[in-house]
Amino acid sequence: MLNARTFGYMHSEEEYDAMVAGAKEEWLSCDAELVLYTFSAQKPM
Amino acid sequence: MMELAAQVPPTVQIHGIDITSGLFPTSYPDNIQFSVNSVTSLPESWTSSYYFLHQRFLIAALTKDMWKSATTEMFRVLVKGGWVELVEPAIGSMFPSVGPHSTKVWSMTTSYRGIITSPHTHIPELLLEANYKYSNVKR
């Protein structure tokens, strides 16, 4: 995403690092649970 | 892979791949091997070689076109009757409730054109398009 210039959302590496750190803190302190989907499929015999 | 290796006979060969070796462990059982490969383009020599494939957390790493390549390649390397298992998070609807930083991460991720944002609907379609016989999803 940095190589793609963050699609205009970020303007410096420091801003990007702060966003990632902030997101980590949000996930560690919120009650949200990550819902996972498991997909199974078989190759025909 | 380490947990699986401890639960299966040592004759079962377990092979892990990633696009870099950065996350490969330095110590692992003899029946585990690691290699640097991309699921979108697996070696020709692997055709019809694997009984079970497990892949997870690539939802933000692959575009829909790359997913098509991945499901087709996995189909190719499976033996007949072999199974694939894909595990992906339903993250799109959750980010806004987590916080502003997380919402921004998600906005940036989905700005990357072609990323699948609803894996629970798109991945079963891709599996069926790749000719898998049976597709099941559970939450």
- Per-residue pLDDT tens digits for A15-35: 888 989 999 999 889 887 778
Q: What are phi and psi of B131, to 5 degrees?
A: 80, 15
What is the ipTM, given to two decimal places?
A: 0.86
* Mean predicted confidence (pLDDT) in B17-39: 95
Count of domains for chain A: 1
CB pairs under 8 A between A and B: 126
Q: What residue numbers bound the domain in which A33 lies?
A: 1-45
Which chain A residues are Cβ-neighbours of B127 within 8 angstroms? Answer: 39, 41
Closest-CA distance, A20 to chain B, in angstroms, reads 7
Cα–Cα distance for residue pair B13/B19, rounded to 1 Å = 20
pTM: 0.82
Write down the pLDDT at residue B135: 73
- What's the mean pLDDT when you consider all of chain B? 90
